[in-house]
Structure 1
């Protein structure tokens, strides 16, 4: 026994560190064994032949069950453990002990320490008079694969909790963004439908008034006769008076057309209320111009109404153009990148490939998806196929800008690879991946 207390304390500290590292390595080896044995597409190295010089399953199990008698056995166990860890990582690739442990900590077996399980257990035991409010069931303290993950990588426990919270926030924001984007898309679709109806009414209006002009010329007796204006005469009670059946039919069609015009403009005005409200909030910072200042002071009430209707129609066309070609592609680009992020996380969870850096990579992918969604219209021609050669970055596609933005956000890496290829062609830059002799 050493006479120096500091040496004893130092030796004990070194022994605790040694045991801690040894236990971590042993738990990681058992995690790898559990992962490989549970996969149909992976197999353990050959442990039946005891003459191959490699550690075997029975030897690994003996490490956890049989304590070493001396330092030589302890060193032999450590060497055997490291060799087994190396072989098992090779058999489990692309997964590693770290990714397996992190995946278990994020989405593994039910975590009995979670507060939601305390609440669930309390609700299930409601009505039992002798049950403590926060007493765990007997199986709670039994070791699980989560226990191996915690002991093998204790530094990942807090990281996994933060990862869960952050990924949950990303999913919630994506769902909210999906709802907002769908609502905006449906709203713009409704505006486009009203504008198309308005264009159709304007075409009918032009055809109808051409027929009225021809009927007025036909009704005139000669070129020197006073001009005839249909739908302008009224009787003493103010009711319209018609000269013949043709005038009555044309004026009735004109009245119905005017009623449809009024209904469409009223719907457009209601449709523009949220956009006008948003614009008023923003314009109020710089000084808003009211509608009264825009209307000429000498205008009659009828002219003022026509002016306001034209202003409503113009505002609706501007809103549908800006939102449909700028705002919606940005939102769909983010949604496409979000779908790729969620799909990638799901695939990594299934293959036990999650790591703490995946959250940062997800944020970067969302940022790239927003960028390409906002800029995709600069490089593509969504009007459909043409007879010429390729146009823009992706050629001609019979897809809308929003659809292309979603696709570009989903495959953002491929789009930026295509952008790099376009830059090399435009500026005559050689491909650094090609050898000079190729």
Structure 2
């Protein structure tokens, strides 16, 4: 019987060790892919139960019950040292497993999946969300859909407000000592608005969900970057991270209307605007010729890189967080450079960046020379790329905030 107890104890220690590896491992460890939160919890619970039982046996050896004819307790310094060793080892593994689990919770924590797409739009990220949530401690979601309507501006203000409230409520109910990963699957104008109002919890990370990485496909796979309320970047860094190009048109529209294209995709930017405007400003990463060119993410390097022949130029890459903050800076710069102009904002960026740009637009310190950009929603009109079956894809302005000016009124001359 004693041998079976010893084997059971060693088996429990083994389970606890595996639980520790799963709880404290990083994304690069092979055990990470097999991590299941409830298995780790169950292993630690069983390990704790066995540890308590073994410690109880050791204490019983040292403090045996007094004989029936006396009430005097006597300390006996003799016990089964194999039992003591197993009990001590089990306690050590239990403590390490709890520490590892706690560290993992602080590093990963909860996955928040935020979705806002047109009604009837298929969610292509279901498998990616399931894969990502399996490696985190908890999962929460906030979603809504909007109607494209007829022509003109798309009004999604109610949906944006509802998702924002759901996201804030879910974050408030979460544990404050755990990490948070936010995976937005939101059309660009709505993502900008949601990011603008987002109260980012400490240790927040934005996660861009994609298909699993493919070895022969550069830039594939998920990528992520953190957001920090105290920006670590100087104005010089923000101004120099991205390059810009201006193209003027002799349309002489009343009041002035222009396009700002934040271009961070693997396609070459266009020099022909989709609207009749006075100017087109394109912002992005510089190609070898110094002009704005195609760009792509290199997940392992956590950088946005110029795309050269379908490959990321890592040497000239820009940190993901810096690229996002710099894009928000360029929106303020355009509002400052063209103080009396309506800015059509075209975000040709990954969905995570639209969300992050909105956050940095609201939270990064505003330089003194950009005081005219303190209320950006009065003059910007974000547009969404709308695809309909049997129709030519078009850019449609979106109304996504209650303090935003009516896009139809601002664009009445376009």
Q: Would the TM-score normalized by the shorter structure come out above 0.5?
A: no
Choose between structure 1 and 2: higher helix proportion.
1
Normalised to the residue count of structure 2, the TM-score between the two structures is: 0.25
Larger-gyration structure (1/2): 1
- TM-score where L is the length of structure 1: 0.24
Higher strand share: 2
